[in-house]
Amino acid sequence: MAVGVILSSFFGALGQLGDPRFRRVLVIGIGLTLALLVAVYAGFLGFLQWSVGDTATLPLIGEVTWLKDLLTWSSFGLMLVLSVFLMVPVASAITSMFLDDVAQAVEDRHYPDLPPAPRLPLSEALVDTLSFLSVIIVANILALFVYAIFAPFALFIFWGLNGFLLGREYYTLAAMRRVGRAQAKVLRKKHFLTIWAAGVLMAMPLSVPLVNLLIPIMGAATFTHIFHRLPQR
């Protein structure tokens, strides 16, 4: 496992926060991440209302009244708590949307000799987004049973599972731009442990409210570096 590659890639992404072009994508990404988080949160509360009625009691949170909580300022605190879980599918969707823009900004600054990368057709990008998103949602729903059985280790299982899933998505999208879908899968298998470890590095701050808003864009930048710094044969 290439720990040095992971750390240098992360700090390389962090060091580009001062780049105006990168910062613009980051700000737009954070705005859309927050908007999508609110939408997912509203859908979650709507599902609770449909399944258990106007009120529900959540562990560590207490009673939730759907319309009241959705329409008051206290809802923001509840949303931040739930963002520990809800940000995983949000991060997946946002990364798919912004990967090209983030990767191009990273490559223009750090790998300027590369030829232009073709953008994926919108239809293919949409299929990839929905595919990754559905896998993440289904896997996390099924994992609820594992969390209940191994409650003391639930957070570590959460990081491990979503680190694997997000690392798989981040690396595949970054690699596809340069080597195509088939070769991206080959390289993903070859660098399996490094990609998983880097994914866990992204999944851990997803558990920290507000900080997690940065992760979709930072993850895309980090994995762009990782792709270029790992052997591509």
47 domain residue, yes or no:
no
| Between 52 and 176, residue with greater pLDDT | 176
Whether residue 124 lies inside any domain: the answer is yes
The tokens describing 108, both together, are 């223009």
Instruction: Please check whether residue 163 lies inside any domain of the structure.
Output: yes
Q: What is the total count of domains within the chain?
A: 1
Q: Report if pTM > 0.75.
A: yes
Q: Is the pLDDT of residue 162 over 80?
A: yes
Residue 30 lies in a domain: no
Among 69-73, 139-143, 180-184, the range scoring the smallest mean pLDDT is 69-73
- Asked whether residue 93 is assigned to any structural domain, the reply reads yes
Please give the residue range of the domain that contains residue 103: 3-19+84-229
pLDDT level of residue 60 (50, 70, 90 thresholds): very low
In the block, residue with structure tokens 């596809």: 176
What's the pLDDT tens digit per position in 2-41?
888 999 999 999 888 888 877 888 888 788 877 877 777 7
Dihedral sign computed on CA atoms, order 160, 133, 219, 33? negative
In a domain, 77, yes or no: no
More confident residue, 53 or 59: 53
Residue 153 lies in a domain: yes
pLDDT of residue 110: 92
Give the per-residue SS3 of 50-114.
Answer: HHHCCEEEECCCEEEEHHHHHHCCHHHHHHHHHHHHHHHHHHHHHHHHHHHHHHHHHHHHHCCCC
72: in domain: no
Q: Tell me the C-alpha distance between 141 and 4, whole Å.
A: 33
